[in-house]
Structure 1
Amino acid sequence: MKQNKRWLAPLALFCLLLLFSGCGSHYEPDALSYVLLIGIDEGTQNNLRISFMIANPKELAGGSGAQNSTGGGDEVKGTASPVATVESPSLYAAMNMVNTFVGRKISLMHAKGIIFSEKMARNGSMAIFIPALTQYRETRGTAFLAVSKDKPEKILHEMKPLLEANPAKYIELLAATSQYTGFIPSIQLQEFYNESKVEGIAPVSILFASSKNKPSEDGKGSLRREGAYVAGQMAKRGGVALEAMGAAAFRDGKMVGELNGDETTLQAMLRGKFKRGIFSMEDPLKPKNILSMDVVSARKPKIKVRLTNQGAVIDAKISLEGNLLGATSTIDYALPKYRPILEKDFSDMIKKQAEDLIIKTQQEYKADILGFGTKARHLVLTQKQWQELKWRDLYEQAEVNIEVDYKLRRTGNLFRIMPLLKPEQGIDEGDNPQ
């Protein structure tokens, strides 16, 4: 009998706990409107103009992926991701206002990204907004952060995936292109907020723009690297009518400049975030020909910071390796006499680009977007000493030494590279004059 009584208290406690279980929000999933993207801009009739891209469960379940819209940009029946825009005093007021006509309660629990206008980024109002976003329990700290050169509302309307029925999947894949192109930064809301709060590193964000530059049918083009563009500059036709290319650089909460695709790749290399990318370059032995290489990070960069009587000295070593994808010349870079030439030429190119970017951050942006300051904290013992060090002033005058180590691992599937047969030029079968 006493043994049975010992079990009564735990059993009663267990039954009591069952009364407290259940859905925390008390809203059923089919009573919520899930926001996929948020666009934030300055308003004309109120403080803010807030746009929400909302998932349409009916269309997603049908898998139609229909992306119809009227000429004025207003969504019609059959749209997988309708966009609702209101002007309001705050983001959360906008959510409440949208609730009056959407029919379901707005929820940010599945918001994949947040896009601000360039105007808000440059005047500093974007940075003021960031803490309020991270404060709200439904906001995902893993959402990507972007700046739009066009109205964010326009970007949301243009975001109509061609290959994905589910716009949420498209948004995730678009942000993930940083892993294999390097043309946009890998930056999340919480990370941006953290870097904005500390000395020794300045944040960047993704750069968006609608497509404007269509390829010309006349004229003759010249060589321009694939990463030499910022969003809105690519010559393109077809596909989704927007571009994610480059980054926006910030100092003291304000956008101070833009990085093109190449500079964004170099920033990722020096931050240790670079994964993989395709690089084009002139053939070092035949400059009129183009080489393409698939380059990956061999290991994290080695960054060392030290103080001298002349100021701060930063030593950075970038380690890369890659494969030759194709070359328009007939030079066989698999041969031992040619391979070191290509490796050195590519290393020199990356070194020159990195040095140019560093000078730009020191003289134009005056912001350590490369995060060298995080490696300089070991120079002091206390927070007070770190503040007295004044890293920002030190960085502007710092001497930065860049070393790039590149190793060519593979040169393609051909055992030997042979030229086209040209007997009149003395090139016979089996001959390679190179």
Structure 2
Amino acid sequence: MKKYGWPIGMLVLVLFLTGCSERQELEKQAFVAVIGLDKGEKEHQIEVTFQISNPQVNTTQSAEAQNEEPSNIVTITAVDLLSAKELVQTSLSREITFSHLRTIIVGEKLAKEDLFRHVIGSAIIDPEMRREAIMIVSKEPAQDFIHANKPTMETRPHKYYEFMEDNWKNTGFVPISNLNVFFQRTEGELFLAGYATAQKDPEYEKNDDTYLAGEVPQSGGDPVEMIGSAVMQKGRMVGTLNGEETRLSLLLRRKNLLKTMITTFPDPLNEDYRISVVVGQGPKTKVKVNTDRSPPEVDVVVPIVLKINSNIALEDYTVSKQRQEALKKMVKTKMEQASGELIEKIQEEYKGEPFVWYATARKNFRTTGDFERYDWGEQFKKADVHVSFEVTIESFGEQLRPPTLNKREKDE
């Protein structure tokens, strides 16, 4: 044992020490929080914008960095993202790392080109590229968007996009879109990416959530708007959906991340006013797809729960079941009508659907090859789709001693 003790001890020591060989000091690294991708002036070239966080801002060392910017923005022209990552080191003293990367902004011009699919596909080879990074398409070049986005209440870029992503789960105005889902739906399915812009052209005649980024009638606040979605098919942008259409696209999925959303409907008792409601999910959306017939048939049942948020007309819906039924019928009719218009638009303009119904249809086939030969995208264009909303009213807002329903009906 003494003969082999010394070699064994040295071997164990070497194994422990090798873990430190690639250790990097934090102060020597430059953490990229946002990447912007744009089409270059020359063919097959792109412009990559790196927004690099300043680690000293909003920390205990902030006193030492009072005159420093919260981030450094650098743009490099290269043939791909990884080449740009190397070239940017020619002007930066710290080593670039994507370990904290959360957001990728893609200029609309590049998003509409086949080149984008090749660029983002080759970039995922880098082990630091996180598939959880959210993807946003900007109406203007991504470089201009990143420079214009200077939020008033959040100086740290990575925190800004993190908080915005949390808001999307509560509003549904923007889909939760990340690289992982993008790569899952690059064959024939439609992928929805967030849509944003700093170029504002307000539309004052629109109602509620039927806005697209840049159209919200807003004055003051942050310089950018994020509402709606960019429709991508086979890795290329082919159109847009406004805020209302994006919300419906999420509700019509069997599983979605939308918690609640606030919207308005015409008051059925006084159509001069609108009534504001909080729409929450009930049980999961039920989706049935019949592929044994031609054209295929899709039946969708969406259960939703309503809470009255504000009632401008001051109509009391607690006094009569007839009034409550009128409200439920109005919401059901409007939701089904809007869903029908969205589905008709999808069928006419695109080859595919963003509702993930293909996952249900795929279960009807024995093999993946059989499903691919069926060509769900082409079959969906002529499918018979039936959407029904099951509406339940949970509450009618805050009331001071609301009268009981039976008592009021008896008095009437």
TM-score, L = length of structure 2: 0.90
Tell me the percent identity.
26
State the match for 1:393 in structure 2. 378
The equivalent position to 1:344 in structure 2, one of 316, 326, 329, is 329
Q: Measured at CA, do residues 5 and 338 of structure 1 come closer, stay the same or move farther in structure 2, by a change above 3 Å? A: farther
Q: Residues 135-150 of structure 1 correspond to what in structure 2 (within 5 A)?
A: 135-150=125-140
2:257 aligned with 1:304: no
**Whole-angstrom distance in 1 between the partners of 2:238 and 2:393:** 37
State the match for 1:413 in structure 2. 398
Q: Measured at CA, do residues 23 and 290 of structure 1 come closer, stay the same or move farther in structure 2, by a change above 3 Å? A: farther
Provide the secondary structure at the position in 2 that maps to 1:247: strand
State the match for 1:281 in structure 2. 265
Provide the secondary structure at the position in 1 that maps to 2:173: coil
2:38 aligned with 1:41: yes
- Cα contact 1:229–1:261 (8 A) shared by 2: yes
Describe the superposition over 1:220-255 as per-residue Cα deviations: whole angstroms up to 9, x where unpaired.
Answer: x65x32211111111211111111110011223321
**Whole-angstrom distance in 1 between the partners of 2:363 and 2:77:** 47
2:224 aligned with 1:242: yes
Describe the superposition over 1:95-139 as per-residue Cα deviations: whole angstroms up to 9, x where unpaired.
Answer: 222212122111111111111111111122222222222221011
**Whole-angstrom distance in 2 between the partners of 1:309 and 1:171:** 45
Provide the secondary structure at the position in 2 that maps to 1:110: coil
State the match for 1:180 in structure 2. 170
TM-score, L = length of structure 1: 0.85
Q: Measured at CA, do residues 214 and 78 of structure 1 come closer, stay the same or move farther in structure 2, by a change above 3 Å? A: farther
Q: Measured at CA, do residues 63 and 374 of structure 1 come closer, stay the same or move farther in structure 2, by a change above 3 Å? A: farther
State the match for 1:28 in structure 2. 25
State the 1:61 CA deviation: 2.1
Q: Measured at CA, do residues 226 and 16 of structure 1 come closer, stay the same or move farther in structure 2, by a change above 3 Å? A: same
State the match for 1:377 in structure 2. 362
- Cα contact 2:210–2:244 (8 A) shared by 1: yes
Note the aligned Cα RMSD (angstroms).
2.6
Q: Residues 202-213 of structure 1 correspond to what in structure 2 (within 5 A)?
A: 202-213=190-201
Describe the superposition over 1:185-242 as per-residue Cα deviations: whole angstroms up to 9, x where unpaired.
Answer: 0111111111114x5x321111111142369xxxxx65x3221111111121111111
State the match for 1:423 in structure 2. none
State the match for 2:406 in structure 1. none
**Whole-angstrom distance in 1 between the partners of 2:52 and 2:273:** 48
- Cα contact 2:149–2:198 (8 A) shared by 1: no
The aligned amino acid for 1:362 is Q
The aligned amino acid for 1:329 is A
The aligned amino acid for 1:313 is E
State the match for 2:153 in structure 1. 163
The equivalent position to 1:359 in structure 2, one of 340, 344, 350, is 344
The equivalent position to 1:79 in structure 2, one of 69, 81, 85, is 69
Describe the superposition over 1:9-39 as per-residue Cα deviations: whole angstroms up to 9, x where unpaired.
Answer: 9866643421222264x32111111011000
State the match for 1:402 in structure 2. 387
Provide the secondary structure at the position in 2 that maps to 1:132: helix
State the match for 2:207 in structure 1. 225
Provide the secondary structure at the position in 1 that maps to 2:100: coil
Runs of 5+ consecutive residues of structure 2 not aligned to the other structure: 404-411
After TM superposition, the structure 1 stretch with the greater mean CA deviation from structure 2, 290-299 or 332-341, is 332-341
State the 1:40 CA deviation: 0.4
The aligned amino acid for 1:333 is Y
State the match for 2:407 in structure 1. none
Q: Residues 254-265 of structure 1 correspond to what in structure 2 (within 5 A)?
A: 254-265=236-247
**Whole-angstrom distance in 2 between the partners of 1:323 and 1:294:** 5
State the 1:391 CA deviation: 1.3
The equivalent position to 1:95 in structure 2, one of 72, 75, 85, is 85
Q: Residues 104-119 of structure 1 correspond to what in structure 2 (within 5 A)?
A: 104-119=94-109
State the match for 1:51 in structure 2. 49
After TM superposition, the structure 1 stretch with the greater mean CA deviation from structure 2, 382-391 or 369-378, is 382-391
The aligned amino acid for 2:236 is K
Q: Measured at CA, do residues 44 and 393 of structure 1 come closer, stay the same or move farther in structure 2, by a change above 3 Å? A: closer
**Whole-angstrom distance in 1 between the partners of 2:394 and 2:330:** 15
State the 1:285 CA deviation: 1.2
State the 1:159 CA deviation: 2.0
Between the two proteins, the alignment pairs up a number of residues equal to 399
The aligned amino acid for 1:252 is K
- Cα contact 1:34–1:107 (8 A) shared by 2: yes
State the match for 1:191 in structure 2. 181
**Whole-angstrom distance in 2 between the partners of 1:373 and 1:82:** 43
**Whole-angstrom distance in 1 between the partners of 2:37 and 2:97:** 16
- Cα contact 2:197–2:214 (8 A) shared by 1: yes
State the 1:414 CA deviation: 1.4
After TM superposition, the structure 1 stretch with the greater mean CA deviation from structure 2, 356-365 or 5-14, is 5-14
**Whole-angstrom distance in 1 between the partners of 2:122 and 2:264:** 42
After TM superposition, the structure 1 stretch with the greater mean CA deviation from structure 2, 90-99 or 408-417, is 408-417
**Whole-angstrom distance in 1 between the partners of 2:157 and 2:107:** 21
- Cα contact 2:81–2:119 (8 A) shared by 1: no
